[in-house]
Amino acid sequence: MDVPVARRLSKPAWVNLRSALGLVLFCAAFAGGQRVLSEARATTLVWAAARDLPANSTLTSSDLEPVAVKLPSTLLARYASAAAEVRGELTTRSLREGELLPALSLAPAGSASGISSISIPVSPEHAVGGSLRPGDRVDVYATFDAADVRARTTSILRNAEVSDVIEASGLVVGGEAAVGIVVSASPSRAAAVAFALRTGEIDVVRTVGPSEGPATITIRAGDFE
């Protein structure tokens, strides 16, 4: 008579392949979650505009303020770090107060060429009620020989950016209180503005978007007959 051989029970294993894999996945998920939470809590200082800045502004300490932001590294690289020295550099476009400084909107000092700045004193009623601010875009018109049959109005500057507003007390034009704006222009256009200031009457028009039509427009008294 055959007697079956008793099988010896194997010692239970505390670790098997499935358990090990689960443990590895758990640890990876836990480490990833900790990293995400750590990055979410971390902030980085970047530069922001402390006031409205027009294009071609030379940055000074009063133009800048550090701001703590939480951004992914891919986005963070687009802005100027507060650890970087940007004072003395030029803005290549206008920036609004509180706007983060894009790295691509900065250029080394002296890189702007062929651009002049000229101040234009004008009475408020001929300059949008005196409400112009740095960063605004304007067209400048000059009227020559006013109240004469030869009267004509010509656009002498199109889509220029206001770089500064002068609000000095006592500034007058023709006996009237005036405001002053500083605009950027090519040397030839700056010369046209200077001539118009001496010989004509100036009107400043705020524009939105690019100016349409030809670069120079002249309207004569006869056009209204």
Between CA 132 and CA 147 the distance in angstroms is 28
pTM over 0.85: no
3-state secondary structure (DSSP) of residue 26: helix
pLDDT surpassing 90 at residue 210: no
Express each pLDDT in 173-196 by its tens digit: 555 566 788 887 777 888 889 999
**Averaged over 194-208, what is the pLDDT?**
90
Longest dimension (CA), the chain: 140
Q: Is the dihedral of CA 10, 13, 16, 18 positive or negative?
A: positive
CB 159 within 8 A of CB 147: no
Structural domain boundaries in the chain: 15-113, 116-224
Q: pLDDT at position 173, please?
A: 53
To the nearest whole number, what is the mean pLDDT of the chain?
78
DSSP state of 3: P
More confident residue, 223 or 133: 133
At residue 4, the pLDDT reads: 59
How sure is the predictor about 140, in pLDDT bands with cuts at 50, 70 and 90?
A: very high
Q: What is the CATH number of domain 15-113?
A: 3.90.1210.10
